[in-house]
């Protein structure tokens, strides 16, 4: 038996005629943590499939070996392979909702892990499952066990999958984009739990992700994958702070942290249309700050906006103002009502209550009752360009339809030039375009009527960081050349902070805080904003956040009960205040205090080999240089 | 598997009971469906009544011959209520139908209800034989095809299913009759159920007429279930199950089939109307006295009360099957239960 939990030796994999993995070498010792970072198409999920010997039918192992806990996986027969999967290696995949069997109760899915294992009695299996659920701070009672996956929250689902993986006591745990798509607080919680458990149980960890922050928080070594081979392998901190390969440096320069902002510390998108999806914006000269007068004239105001679905309120008394020429970022977890609010303003979902004004004149909620001019002035870009561009229309037709419908005078050629796309794509169908190109077409379509408000609903969330940086630069450039306001919606605080002049934070259907971006990041007033910031900065800077129990936070109950006043605590900085918090001048919630007083040794895994953490400032130095 | 293999899955009736009790009564949902079905039945009654009154030919002529006196025609028309306006005839009929007074056959002088119910029972027996053959066959082969797309079974089922789909019941029926009843004499030519009601003798008589209906629907259902299986086999949770180290049979049984079947079951029940249509044809062909044959016979003989009642019962049966499909989905699919709340 070797000492390696995972050993890849000149691994090569073909899909059809295409080589996807090119001679990959990797040694992962017992208890070590390794991260594979790469963009889509780099081959990172193929590596995971190869490790558990579950390549799609079109994939072929053409060279090299994979050894898990010393066993050559490609040479195992069926029963040995099952044994390997049942005991030695476990995978937690992306999208927990889709990864659990929808018609089997949680308990059965967990206990199923021990099927066919003669060494574990049913009682022992039940005991281990209960212990693991408890360890992951899930209820271990029978009521919880009898639930179906759809009766759990996203975070609970992912922890159930984690329990399913760890209850096997594997030598190797693989997280395959396991936190992608989770809300920031949940993501931070899962990362904390994995770090704690690795410290306790000493399993080896392979993290595959597109997100540098996640890999940084979980691993000691990192490999940057591009076109099926590592361009750089080394200690995580060294690679992230002093990348030695230009591709790593380029990728890092595309990933926003809280220290980046388009106006004073812009990202540097990769100057290659093949990567960023279009012409790179000249971002060397930062755009000047907009006039920061609090009295800047409002373009759109929403007052008392409310909406309920089937009697369940999803938006409650929202007061929002979007000013002329500004970018207002809207951040919040899934289900907080961000997209509903966007739909309200765009006229897609009529509100039940409240008033909307545009340029000071009242506007009706439903799209059908709006004037053509109003429709022309409010346009929207959605998250998934695959489903918003008609797959059976050529790009030219998609754009000409929009031009005709919105009675615009532009041409498809000019519309494409505006978003940095070559007119060569006009005769293509959307399927031929890359994700970044498709999103640029979607933006071009929204811009044909020269709207005064562009709503971007998670418009960059589905894109790779390099593509995302390009699209963010595009939005910045468009805004500086037109007098256009942008409502930028995202679950990712780092991106929202990067693009926004002001930020609004939503929680459970209500606006909880709204203020100038820099002020809000530096001085968050609402406990939920503080928690979000803490989660984001933990992922940005610290190796292994302390996982806090989702403690009882009194503000949540008061929030749910609909209490609270909208108070201007600082110039132009508004917050939802609950009765008790006003007596707390410092405004610090329980959660925050718990984070401050966490034991110092709980911050980092014991197994962490590298000596010290560079402070956050070091990171921003790097990205500025 | 080792003797200590553990099965944790609670099974059978216990599971269904917990499932329903946990569903916090989707009865409101089911009540809505029932009201909708009742509305559909009203539409069916208007359509049936309208179409029947449009039928060519004349009951008075077929009862009295073409040489009777005008007074005789008028007297019979008055006796049957045909001299009143159509809407009044309709309301009278609907009112009677709802109260259980289905009238008397114009041709046989026996109450319509007894006649129709007796024939309904016969058709249900034949229909049961059809389903007992059709469901295992199409589900089994559809699932196997979906698990190995492009495999031998998949290709055979696909070609055969499409071929059978375009051959109507009366063609396969005639061919089967010629081969098995006329040539080989394995089955009787006429499929009247035996009077003593012996179970095996009855089933034996019903097999041959059932086959054409099975063949006509097999291709459609098998393809449907194949598509459902393919979709589920690609799901992330099937990968999760495989990577747990479960045996292939467990992955297929508890994860793929378990999730592919519910929607297929409810679509199969939607298909019951088509199966009833097939029964009309084979009952005629095999001289089997079921509801379908009754509909055809009463149409030919202008026996309006029988035709109306038989058509309504057939319509109600189809609607009942659709509601049963909804209930099955609620029982089998926890997410559907959540959505129905």
E strand or H helix that includes residue A71: strand A71-72
CB A133 within 8 A of CB A115: no
Q: Is residue B172 part of a domain?
A: yes
Does B244 contact A87 at a Cβ distance shorter than 8 Å? no
CA-CA distance, A489 to A500, in Å (whole number)?
A: 10
**Can you list the domains of chain A with their CATH numbers?**
1-81+204-254 (3.40.50.300), 298-523+567-581 (3.40.50.300)
B58-71 in b/e form (b: 16+ CB < 10 A) is ebbeebeeeeeeee
Which of A114-118, A191-195, A557-561, B43-47 is predicted with the least confidence, judged by mean pLDDT?
A557-561
**Closest residue, chain A, to B3 (C-alpha):** A118
Q: What is the pLDDT of residue B57?
A: 67
Q: Is residue B287 part of a domain?
A: yes
pLDDT greater than 60 at residue A544: no
Kindly report the nearest CA distance between residue B42 and chain A, in angstroms: 30
CB A589 within 8 A of CB A582: no
Instruction: Provide mean pLDDT across the span A566-572.
Output: 88
What's the Rg (C-alpha) of chain B? 25
Does A93 contact B235 at a Cβ distance shorter than 8 Å? no
Q: Is the Cβ of A104 closer than 8 Å to some Cβ of chain B? A: yes
Q: What is the pLDDT of residue A2?
A: 58
SS3 sequence of chain B: CCCCCCCCCCCHHHHHHHHHHHCCCCHHHHHHHHHHHHHHHHHHHHHHHHHHHHCCCCHHHHHHCCCCCHHHHHHHHHHHCCCCCHHHHHHHHHHHHHHCCCCECCCCCCEHHHHHHHHHHHHHHHHHHHHHHHHHHHHHHHHHHHHCCCCHHHHHHHHHHHHHHHCCHHHHHHHHHHHHHHHCCCCCCCCCCCCCCCHHHHHHHHHHHHHHHHHHHHHHHHHHHHHHHHHHHCCHHHHHHHHCCCCHHHHHHHHHHHHHHHHHHHHHHHCHHHHHHHHHHHHHHCCCCCHHHHHHHHHHCCCHHHHHHHHHHHHHHHHHHHHHHHHHHHHHCHHHHHHHC
CA-CA distance, A102 to B335, in Å (whole number)?
A: 7
Q: What is the pLDDT of residue B4?
A: 37
Which of A105-109, A609-613, B73-77 is predicted with the least confidence, judged by mean pLDDT?
A609-613
pLDDT in tens, A455-502: 999 999 888 888 899 999 999 999 888 889 999 999 889 999 999 999
| Tens digit of pLDDT at every position of chain B (341 positions) | 333 333 333 334 444 444 444 445 567 788 888 899 899 999 999 998 888 888 776 777 777 777 878 888 888 888 777 778 888 888 888 888 888 888 888 888 888 888 999 999 999 999 999 999 999 999 999 999 999 999 999 999 999 988 888 888 888 888 888 888 888 888 777 767 666 667 787 888 888 899 999 999 998 999 999 999 999 999 999 999 999 999 999 999 999 999 999 988 888 888 888 899 999 999 998 888 899 999 999 888 888 889 999 999 999 999 999 999 988 888 898 888 877 65
CB A472 within 8 A of CB A495: yes
Q: What is the pLDDT of residue A223?
A: 96
pLDDT greater than 60 at residue A607: no
List, in sequence order, every residue forming a beta bridge with A205; answer none if it has no partner: A33, A173
In this structure, how many other beta carbons lie within 10 angstroms of the beta carbon of residue B300?
Answer: 12
CB A23 within 8 A of CB A46: no
Q: Is residue B330 part of a domain?
A: yes
Instruction: Provide mean pLDDT across the span A11-28.
Output: 93
Compute φ and ψ for B32, nearest 5 degrees.
-60, -45
Q: Is residue B16 part of a domain?
A: no
Q: Is residue B239 part of a domain?
A: yes
Q: What is the pLDDT of residue A313?
A: 84
pLDDT greater than 80 at residue A617: no
Q: Is residue B267 part of a domain?
A: yes
Q: What is the pLDDT of residue A473?
A: 92
User: Angle at the Cα of A594 (from A591 to A596), degrees rounded to 5?
Assistant: 115
CATH classification at residue B127: 1.10.3720.10
Q: Residue A352 to residues A44, A86, A312, A344: CA-CA distances in angstroms?
A: 46, 52, 12, 10
Q: What is the pLDDT of residue A594?
A: 37
Instruction: Provide mean pLDDT across the span A400-424.
Output: 92
CA-CA distance, A185 to A538, in Å (whole number)?
A: 10
In this structure, how many other beta carbons lie within 10 angstroms of the beta carbon of residue A329?
Answer: 27
Does A150 contact B237 at a Cβ distance shorter than 8 Å? no
Kindly report the nearest CA distance between residue A116 and chain B, in angstroms: 5
Confidence of residue A623 (pLDDT cuts 50, 70, 90): very low
| Cross-chain CB nearest to A115 (options B3, B239, B246) | B246
Q: Is the Cβ of A389 closer than 8 Å to some Cβ of chain B? A: no
CA-CA distance, A358 to A414, in Å (whole number)?
A: 27
> What token pair was written down for A101?
């069997």
Q: Is residue B162 part of a domain?
A: yes
Q: What is the pLDDT of residue B318?
A: 92
Does A116 contact B5 at a Cβ distance shorter than 8 Å? yes
Q: What is the pLDDT of residue A67?
A: 95
> What token pair was written down for B289?
């006295």
Contacts of A264 (CB under 8 A, 6+ apart): A286
Structure ipTM: 0.79
Q: What is the pLDDT of residue B251?
A: 95
Domain span at residue B254 reads: 25-56+102-340
CB A457 within 8 A of CB A384: no
Q: What is the pLDDT of residue A208?
A: 95
Distance of CA A507 to the CA centre of its chain: 17
Does B335 contact A83 at a Cβ distance shorter than 8 Å? no
Q: Residue B301 to residues A57, A226, B63, B308, B314: CA-CA distances in angstroms?
A: 62, 80, 9, 13, 19
pLDDT greater than 90 at residue A46: yes
The number of distinct structural domains making up chain B is 1
pLDDT greater than 70 at residue A212: yes
E strand or H helix that includes residue A39: none
Confidence of residue A246 (pLDDT cuts 50, 70, 90): very high
Instruction: Provide mean pLDDT across the span A287-304.
Output: 68
Instruction: Provide mean pLDDT across the span A71-95.
Output: 93
List, in sequence order, every residue forming a beta bridge with A330; answer none if it has no partner: A489, A504
Residues from B contacting A (CB-CB < 8 Å) are 1-9, 18, 22, 235-237, 239-248, 250, 254-255, 258-259, 262, 332-335, 338
Q: Is residue B234 part of a domain?
A: yes
Q: What is the pLDDT of residue A270?
A: 78
pTM: 0.81
CA-CA distance, A560 to A557, in Å (whole number)?
A: 5
């Amino acid at each position: 038996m070797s000492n390696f939990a995972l050993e890849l030796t000149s691994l090569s994999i073909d899909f059809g005629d295409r080589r996807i993995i090119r001679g990959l070498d990797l040694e992962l010792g017992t208890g070590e943590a390794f991260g594979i970072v790469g963009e889509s198409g780099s081959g990172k999920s193929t590596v995971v499939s190869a490790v558990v010997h579950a390549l799609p039918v079109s994939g072929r192992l053409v060279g090299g070996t994979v050894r898990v806990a010393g066993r050559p996986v490609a040479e195992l027969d069926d029963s040995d392979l099952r044994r390997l999967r049942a005991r030695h290696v476990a995978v937690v995949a992306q999208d927990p909702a889709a990864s659990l069997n929808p018609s089997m109760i949680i308990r059965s899915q967990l206990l199923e892990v021990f099927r066919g294992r003669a060494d574990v009695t049913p009682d022992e299996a039940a005991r281990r499952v209960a212990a693991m659920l408890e360890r992951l701070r899930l209820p271990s009672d029978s009521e919880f066990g009898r639930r179906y996956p759809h009766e759990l929250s996203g975070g609970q689902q992912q922890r159930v999958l984690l329990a399913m993986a760890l209850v096997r006591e594997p030598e190797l745990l693989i997280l395959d984009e396991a936190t992608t798509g989770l809300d920031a607080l949940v993501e931070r919680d899962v990362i904390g739990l994995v770090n704690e458990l690795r410290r306790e149980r000493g399993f080896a960890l392979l993290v595959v992700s597109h997100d540098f922050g996640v890999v940084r928080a979980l691993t000691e070594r990192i490999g940057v994958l591009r076109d099926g081979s590592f361009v750089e392998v080394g200690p995580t901190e060294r690679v992230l702070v002093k990348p030695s390969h230009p591709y790593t440096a380029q990728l890092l320069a595309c990933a926003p942290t809280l220290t980046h902002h388009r106006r004073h510390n812009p990202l540097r998108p990769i100057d290659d249309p093949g990567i960023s999806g279009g012409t790179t914006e000249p971002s060397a000269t930062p755009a000047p700050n907009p006039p920061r007068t609090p009295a800047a004239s409002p373009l759109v105001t929403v007052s008392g906006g409310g909406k309920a679905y089937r009697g369940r309120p999803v938006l409650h008394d929202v007061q929002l103002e979007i000013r002329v020429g500004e970018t207002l970022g809207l951040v919040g977890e899934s289900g907080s009502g961000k997209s509903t609010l966007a739909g309200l303003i765009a006229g897609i979902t009529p509100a039940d209550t409240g008033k909307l004004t545009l340029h000071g004149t009242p506007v009706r909620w439903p799209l059908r009752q709006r004037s053509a001019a109003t429709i022309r002035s409010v346009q929207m870009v959605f998250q998934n360009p695959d489903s918003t561009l008609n797959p059976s229309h050529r790009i030219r037709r998609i754009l000409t339809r929009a031009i005709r419908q919105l009675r615009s005078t532009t041409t498809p050629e000019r519309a494409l030039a505006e978003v940095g796309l070559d007119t060569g794509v006009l005769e293509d169908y959307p399927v031929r375009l890359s994700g970044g190109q498709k999103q640029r077409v979607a933006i071009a379509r929204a811009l044909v009527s020269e709207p005064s408000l562009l709503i971007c609903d998670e418009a960059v969330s589905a894109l790779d960081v390099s593509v995302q940086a390009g699209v963010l630069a595009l939005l910045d450039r468009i805004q500086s050349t037109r007098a256009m306001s942008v409502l930028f919606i995202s679950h990712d605080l780092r991106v929202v902070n990067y693009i926004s002049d002001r930020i609004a934070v939503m929680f459970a259907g209500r606006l909880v805080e709204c203020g100038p971006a820099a002020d809000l990041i530096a001085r968050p007033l609402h406990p939920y904003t503080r928690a979000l910031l803490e989660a984001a900065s933990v992922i940005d800077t610290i190796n292994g956040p302390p996982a806090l129990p989702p403690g009882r936070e009194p503000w949540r109950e008061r929030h749910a009960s609909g209490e609270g006043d909208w108070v201007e605590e600082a110039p132009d900085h508004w917050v939802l205040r609950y009765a008790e918090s006003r007596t707390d001048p410092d405004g610090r919630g329980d959660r925050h205090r718990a984070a401050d007083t966490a034991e110092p040794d709980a911050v980092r895994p014991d197994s962490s080999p590298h000596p010290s953490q560079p402070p956050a400032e070091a990171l921003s130095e790097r990205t500025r240089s | 598997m080792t003797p200590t293999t553990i099965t944790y899955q609670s099974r059978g009736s216990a599971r269904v009971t917990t499932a329903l009790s946990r569903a916090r009564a989707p009865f409101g949902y089911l009540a809505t469906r029932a009201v909708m079905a009742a509305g559909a039945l009203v539409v069916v009654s208007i359509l049936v009544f309208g179409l029947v009154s449009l039928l060519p030919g004349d009951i008075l002529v077929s009862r009295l011959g073409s040489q009777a006196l005008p007074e005789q025609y008028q007297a019979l028309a008055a006796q049957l209520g045909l001299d009143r306006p159509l809407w009044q005839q309709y309301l009278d009929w609907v009112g009677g139908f709802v109260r259980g007074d289905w009238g008397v056959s114009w041709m046989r002088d026996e109450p319509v209800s007894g006649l129709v119910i007796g024939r309904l029972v016969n058709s249900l027996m034949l229909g049961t034989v059809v389903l007992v053959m059709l469901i295992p066959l199409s589900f089994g082969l559809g699932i196997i095809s979906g698990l190995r797309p492009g495999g031998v079974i998949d290709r055979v089922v696909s070609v055969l299913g499409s071929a059978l789909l375009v051959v109507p019941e009366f063609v396969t029926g005639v061919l089967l009759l010629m081969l098995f009843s006329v040539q080989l004499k394995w089955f009787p030519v006429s499929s009247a159920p035996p009077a003593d009601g012996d179970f095996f003798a009855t089933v034996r008589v019903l097999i041959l007429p059932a086959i054409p209906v099975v063949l006509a629907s097999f291709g459609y259902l098998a393809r449907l279930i194949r598509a459902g299986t393919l979709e589920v086999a690609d799901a992330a949770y099937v990968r999760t199950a495989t990577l747990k180290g479960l045996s292939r049979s467990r992955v297929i049984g508890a994860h793929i089939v378990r999730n592919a079947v519910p929607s297929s079951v409810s679509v199969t029940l939607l298909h019951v109307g088509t199966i009833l249509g097939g029964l009309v044809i084979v009952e005629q062909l095999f001289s089997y006295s079921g509801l379908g044959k009754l509909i055809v016979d009463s149409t030919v003989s202008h026996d309006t009360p029988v035709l109306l009642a038989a058509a309504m019962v057939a319509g109600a049966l189809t609607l009942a099957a659709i509601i049963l499909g909804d209930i099955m989905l609620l029982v089998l699919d926890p997410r559907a239960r959540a959505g129905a709340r």
